[in-house]
Chain A
Amino acid sequence: MRNLASLVFTAGLAFLLLVIAAQLGFGEPPMRVGGAILEQAPAEVGAANIVTAVLLGYRGIDTLGELSILFAAATATGLVLVRGRKDCGHGTSDPPGGFILRTGADLLFPLLLVVGFYIILHGHLTPGGGFQGGVILAAAFFVLVLARPGADGSGGTSHTAIAFIEGLAGAGFIAIGLWSLWDGGEFLAPLLGKGVMGELLSAGTLPLLSLAVGLKVGAELAGLMTQLAEQPAGPQHPHPQAEDRGS
């Protein structure tokens, strides 16, 4: 019965998509909003990378919502995972990383940080931006975690640091938005003048917002990954509920 319903559903979906695909014009988008943004963004925002201008300018509150979703996912993951850790107080059982892996990770770490910050700070000029750079920052920290599985010497401090960075970076994004509200404009309106397009210090508050996004995304993803990495694998402690009835 369930399989039949599933089949009907997927067949319906496939048919619907087929009909839609037959009607769509290929490769000739109306460009209504997009075209207007391409024309006006250089004057209104002053960023060479128009994608970033849309991301942090025209659709800035979308980006705030997106940051909040990552934050919600990380917090909810914490709610789910942290509670169980007390019951099974043993760390991961992964083997140690070995000399080559650890040295390679130590060498990569500063390089990844530099690349990450470069991409974040040049988000308004070149391809990239807060999200892309933030992911690289998170990767930098995660390389360290991967090379030293079960090393929980710095676990407490790094959690505190992550909590502070993710909280304050997100608050910074909102603070910049509120600043322009205070200034008499609308929430998240651009400030600080546009500068000369193509220079590092241009496009007003965009680089600052980009930095906040990068730090937040980096901290969020690093937190998510360390939380998952600290989980013991497999059903080592089956719940008493599961035992008395089997499946």
Chain B
Amino acid sequence: MTGLFSISQGHSVLPVVLPLLAAFLMQPLGRVARPLALLLGPATLALSAYLLIRLWLAYGDAPYALAIGGFAPPLGITFYVDRLALLFATAVPVLTLLFWSRGEDDADPLRRDAVMLLLAAAATGLALSGDLFNIYVFYELVAVASFGLVTLRATGAAYIATVRYLLLSALGSVLALVGIAIVYLQTGTLSLAQLAMLAPDALQNPLGLAPFALLLIGFGVKAELFPVNTWVPEVYATAPTRISALLAGLVSKLAVIVVVRLLVLAFDGTGATQLMLALGALGFVTGELAAWRARDLNRMLAYSSIGQLGLVFVGFSLGGTAGMLAGLALVLHHLIIKSALFALATRWRGALARLTGAARSAPVSAGLVVLFALSLIGVPPLPGFWAKLLLVLGLVELSTPLALGALALVLLGSAVEANYLFRLVVRLYARPDDASTPALPKPKLLDFGVASAAGVLLLAATVSVVPVSGWLRGVADQAADRAAYIDTVFPTTLVQSGAR
């Protein structure tokens, strides 16, 4: 142990709390010692990441529950820490650090840093929380922080996109709140573990499907779920590209994880999975078709992100460990690739026509785009192939009419996806017309570094498919285990007297 202090399970709350503390102190500190305040954000996130990695090393094997305030589980709020939670909680500070804004806009840096920290804290909370209403609170904090961040470019278009995003998101939140109220009316509890215990009697019936649908629509706004994703192209085209990378790469995934937790624990009836399957397949095919029509890079990436998240929902809707594995593989794959593509897009935003011949001035970046495109399409040795294979096999095995319909949509969408991604690649390597096209700026070193690291990670996963999939299966096993969740939060059966 070489740390600042010895680590204990109680410290799992710190990655949520410390960024909040830093955000609160940002303004006072900024008026006393401004340079220090500017360093506060990255330092706090680095500390969070360090703490999470230490927690992972110390307690990563078995899941554990943390009763906030020391109040016994059904009454107080619990954090549930398993490998899935740790994985995404660790991704939050790391990715936020990588996409930390460094003065590309003329916004007040202290305010911007504070909002970034709030986003990181809330996103970590989403990964860890085990209480329905607490999840709602963190989700709203993520939402409000992201509203602030997408206005950073201060253009009129950014404000219009923000307010449309805000209204849709707020409507979703109202529906989610109604869903929570109905769940509470039915069960009288908000603890996910106790909901999981009560679910077979109280929630797995038509009246249980209604709150799931409401919660799915509510949390689906951030997860870019099919009918409530109209904000995505507008926001990603008007927000700073780094913020788009964070929203598409990270925040959407955390919303997905929340939905999956709810599905696994409380709403594991067939109706819920069928709803998710249908919406996911529709989202995939509509997203890919819209991406095919897009003429600028940011919106192409945005629509492609909608499509990929639709695929993720299809994966998780398969149910069981197999579904969890397929979904997780797709989520991680998309997290890495979409973050990297947006990192490259920081300097390449704008019309696709501008990219003609970009491979000349930036050969490595263009090579990376090719790699990512191949993996997104699912060309055999790359990880994207294995993820899609798991999905297709699962759908074939299910072979209900709905699953086969979804399979057809998935294959159709993949063909469309291949078409527009190849078009992009061809454009990158086309001969530019030197006279009129200005040389495209190369990506910044850090963004280029992020993209290269993602490329290396992807290739490493390609080479070591067997250990990676084994490890992922372990994560999926833990995450799909409802009984373990209940046992961890309520270690002895005597507590169930509170659950009469």
Contact = CB atoms under 8 A, between A and B. Distances in A.
- When A and B assemble into the complex, do they touch directly, with CB atoms less than 8 Å apart? yes
Interface of A: 13, 16-17, 19-20, 23-25, 29-37, 40, 44, 57-62, 64-66, 68-69, 71-73, 75-76, 78-80, 82-83, 160, 163-164, 166-168, 170-171, 174-175, 177-178, 180-181, 185-190, 239, 241-242
Given A32-B500, A181-B13, A37 B75 contact: yes
A59 B76 contact: yes
Contact of B69 (A29, A57, A71, A73): A57
A72 B115 contact: yes
A33 B148 contact: no
Contacts of B138: 65
A190 B194 CA distance: 24
- Among B71, B115, B147: residue with most chain A CB under 10 A: B71
A167 B28 contact: yes
A242 B156 contact: yes
A29 B188 contact: yes
B154 A83 contact: yes
- Among A29, A76, A178, A190: residue with most chain B CB under 10 A: A76
Contacts of A160: 31
Interface of B: 10-11, 13-14, 16-17, 20-21, 23-29, 31, 66-71, 74-77, 106-108, 111-112, 114-115, 118, 121-122, 125, 133-134, 137-138, 140-141, 144-145, 147-148, 151-152, 154, 156, 159, 175, 178, 182, 184-191, 194, 206-207, 210, 213-214, 498-500
- Among A80, A160, A166, A175: residue with most chain B CB under 10 A: A80
Nearest to A77: B148
A170 B24 contact: yes
Contacts of A36: 74-75, 498
Contact of A72 (B108, B141, B184): B141
User: 8 shortest A-B CB distances, which residue pairs?
Assistant: A76-B148, A30-B188, A32-B188, A170-B24, A65-B137, A189-B70, A163-B27, A167-B28
Contacts of B140: 65, 69
Given A64-B20, A171-B25, 5 more contacts: A23-B207, A32-B499, A72-B144, A75-B115, A82-B111
A61 B134 contact: yes
Contact of A71 (B10, B23, B152): B23
Contact of B74 (A24, A32, A69, A75): A32
Given A31-B188, A65-B137, A71-B23, A79 B111 contact: yes
B89 to A, nearest CB: 15
A174 B148 contact: no
Nearest to A189: B70
A23 to B, nearest CB: 5
B68 A29 contact: no
Contacts of B122: 65, 68
Contacts of B69: 57-58, 60-61, 186-190
Describe A's contact surface by its main secondary structure.
Answer: helix
B77 A82 contact: no
Contacts of B206: 19, 23
A60 B207 CA distance: 30
B108 A186 contact: no
Contact of B114 (A75, A168, A180): A75
Contacts of A30: 185-189
B31 A33 contact: no
Contacts of B151: 76, 79-80
Nearest to A167: B28
Contact of B77 (A24, A25, A59): A59
B188 A181 contact: no
Nearest to A20: B210
- Among B28, B184, B187, B499: residue with most chain A CB under 10 A: B28
B68 A65 contact: no
Nearest to A33: B189
A170 B121 CA distance: 14
B438 to A, nearest CB: 24
Contacts of B182: 20, 24
Contacts of B178: 17
A177 B16 CA distance: 12
A88 B144 CA distance: 27
A109 B206 CA distance: 54
A69 B134 CA distance: 13
B126 to A, nearest CB: 11
